[in-house]
Amino acid sequence: MKYLITESQINKLIFTYLDNQDFIKFEKDNFIYFVNSEGDNYAQIKYDISDKWCMINYELIDEINSFFSTDTTTSRNLITQWFENTLQIKVSGSVAGLSQYGFHV
C-alpha cells in the first residue's frame, strides 16, 4: 500500500521529531548550545548570538536524512527553521559541522 505524504506533513513530522529529542539548551560566551544531555561536551546545534549563524552537527543532519529520506540541504534548512521557531529568533544562515561528535562546548 502506498501513501502520499505532502511536504508540509513531512516538515511537521520532522519538527515533532526534533521536539521529542529533548535537547538541553544553554548559553555560554555569546553562543546558544543545544546538547543531548547535561554534561555533554559537544553540541548538536550551536548558535552565534552576535552574527546570528547556526551551526548544525552533520550527524544530526544525517539522522534526519536517513529517517525521513530527505537530502542534506533540506534537512539543514528544516533544522534551522525548527531552531528559529523554537527560540523565536531569526537565523542569518546555517552550516553543517563536520565533527563526528558535534561542536565543542
Q: What is the dihedral of CA 92, 96, 99, 101, to 10 degrees?
A: 80
Domain ranges of the chain: 25-104
Q: What is the pLDDT of residues 45-94, one digit of tens each?
A: 999 999 999 999 999 999 999 999 999 999 999 999 999 999 999 999 98
pTM of the model: 0.88
Q: State the cell numbers at 31.
A: 553562543
Q: How confident is the model at residue 103 (pLDDT cuts 50, 70, 90)?
A: low
SS3 of 39, please?
coil
